[in-house]
Amino acid sequence: MIRKIMKLSLKSILNNKMRSFLTMLGIIIGVMAVVILVSITQGAATGITDSISDMGSQLITATISDSEVSVSADEIESLEAYPSIDSAAPVISSSETVKKNSNSGSYSIVGITPEYFSVRDIDIQRGRKIVESDIEWNTNICVIGTDVATDLFGTWDAVNGTIIIGDSIYKVVGVLEEQGSSLAGSDDSKIFIPYSTAERVTGQSGVSSVYIKAAGENSVNAAINSTEAFLLQATRDEDSYTVNNQSEVLDTMGDVTNTMTLLLAGIAAISLLVGGIGIMNIMLVSVTERTREIGIRKAVGAKRRHIMFQFLCEACILSALGGVIGLLLSFCAIECYSFAAATAAGINWMVGFAAIGFCLVIGVVFGSYPAAKASRLQPIEALHTS
């Protein structure tokens, strides 16, 4: 009997194709909004977190923010004595005007030690890295990022070329591997010079920041604590530095994207709710239109629950069908989006099925009132309506 009644509901939906479609449209749009927005935000979030973890969760960054305090590179070296710390790379950063023939621009100049490459896990594509003897001899050499190489040298090979940083001539000894954009700013558009050279050029005696690689995944927290203790001792001012770890950034990012996802899903859910109200509205119209049918059914023995079930079924089929159509359309839309935007945003099926479940709940909730109204009709009165 349940199957018969469901078939009946389906039939009455098909009898009013245009109306049913318009009613479902509310649900279709609602489901699409939820599924597409959540899938795309989560896709973007996964991209961001991936790029953060690419930078290494064992990486700790300490930044000296107060120009009054100074921590020397030699002091930083003593950080490596801590068992939780694998290596520490001091960095001096500044910004200078760089010229090459007629090309010029302002670039970020970074003074580094050889440890920088291992701590940041960066390699060169051509030439050589900055080595210990460069530091020792304060040589005017530099390693440049790929963007810098393209900007200044065009298609020419930058290795063994010369550029002018500030007032001095530097020889380019290496070009870094392309890193692409990343959250922490790309090294592609930076110029790296020996630490000691940077100290001399900028007149800066202390480090700007330190990159620290923890000894292992499990010693990250210990390494952070050691670094903080060390910097407190060295500066005697705990406001003058900040220590960050990628996993903290990752957690924060996760929180942010979760909040974003929830927010968007919430907004989209409102449109689902509006769709539900549309279903209720049309079901009420349908009950009025079919008063006579209800009367006939009751006269031949239908009980309240039979009528109730019939109308509830209709509401649920409308909303569930809308949900399924919405999910399929979302799938197409997301495929198109990820093709067009060349990102790997995939449909979030879990959200999709949750949305369909939510649709069914909407069908039951918003179908209940019209169904109850239909079931309470008195047969004599219903029969007398023509």
Partner 1 sequence: MIKLKHIYKSYRLGDIEVPALQDVSLHVKPHEFVSVLGPSGSGKSTLMNIIGCLDVPDSGEYILDGECVENCTENELSDIRGKKIGFIFQQFNLLPDLTAYENVEMPLLYHRISAEERHERVMKTLEQVGLSDRIYHKPSQLSGGQQQRVAIARVLAGRPSIILADEPTGNLDSVSGKEIMDIIKGLWQDGNTIVLITHDIHVADQAERKVYVHDGKLSDKETSV
Contact positions toward partner 1, by CB under 8 A?
Answer: 1, 4-5, 11-12, 15, 292-293, 295-304, 306, 379-380, 383, 386
**Cα 213 from chain centroid (whole Å):** 25
Choice between 54 and 293, CB closer to partner 1: 293
Q: Which is nearer to partner 1, 12 or 202 (CB)?
A: 12
Strands (E), the chain: 59-64, 85-100, 103-112, 124-127, 141-144, 162-165, 168-176, 190-194, 209-214, 241-245
Which of 5/45 has CB closer to partner 1? 5
Euclidean distance between CA atoms 383 and 386, whole angstroms: 7
Six-digit token string for 371: 């169904």
CB of 303 to partner 1, least distance (A): 4
Rounded to 5°, the CA angle 342-355-44 comes to: 25
Q: Quick one: 15 or 155, whose CB is closer to partner 1? A: 15
16 vs 138, beta carbon nearer partner 1: 16
Indicate the residue among 12 and 51 with the shorter CB distance to partner 1: 12
Nearer to partner 1, 5 or 361 (CB): 5
Beta carbon of residue 295, minimum distance to partner 1 (angstroms, whole number):
8
Nearest distance from residue 17's CB to partner 1, in Å?
13
Contact predicate 287/294, CB 8 Å: yes
Of 147, 151, 153, 200, the C-alpha closest to 172 is 153
Smallest separation, CB 297 to partner 1 (Å): 7
CB of 300 to partner 1, least distance (A): 4
CB of 306 to partner 1, least distance (A): 6
Q: Select from 369, 362, 361, 357 the least CA-distant residue to 311.
A: 369
Please tell me the distance from the alpha carbon of residue 204 to that of residue 61, in angstroms, as a whole number: 20
- Minimum CB separation of residue 383 from partner 1 in Å reads 7
Q: Is 102 helix (H, G, I), strand (E, B) or coil?
A: coil
Q: Rounded to an integer, what distance in angstroms lies between the CA atom of residue 109 and that of residue 130? A: 14
Output the DSSP codes for 252-296: HHHHHHHHHHHHHHHHHHHHHHHHHHHHHHHHHHHHHHTHHHHHH
Give CA torsion, residues 140, 145, 146, 148, to 10 deg. -70
Q: Rounded distance, CA 154 to CA 144, Å? A: 13
How far is residue 241's CA from residue 91's CA, in Å, rounded to a whole number? 14
Name which of 11 and 128 has its Cβ closer to partner 1: 11
- Which CB sits closer to partner 1, 56 or 379? 379
Contact 239, 66 (CB under 8 A): yes
**Nearest distance in Å: CB 294, partner 1:** 10
To partner 1, the closest distance from the beta carbon of 261 in angstroms equals 45
Strands 141-144 and 209-214, how do they pair?
Answer: unpaired
Report d(CA 91, CA 196) in Å as an integer. 10
Closest CA to 246 of 214, 293, 198: 214
Report the residue number, 50 or 381, with the smaller CB distance to partner 1.
381
Cβ 4 to partner 1, closest distance in Å?
Answer: 5
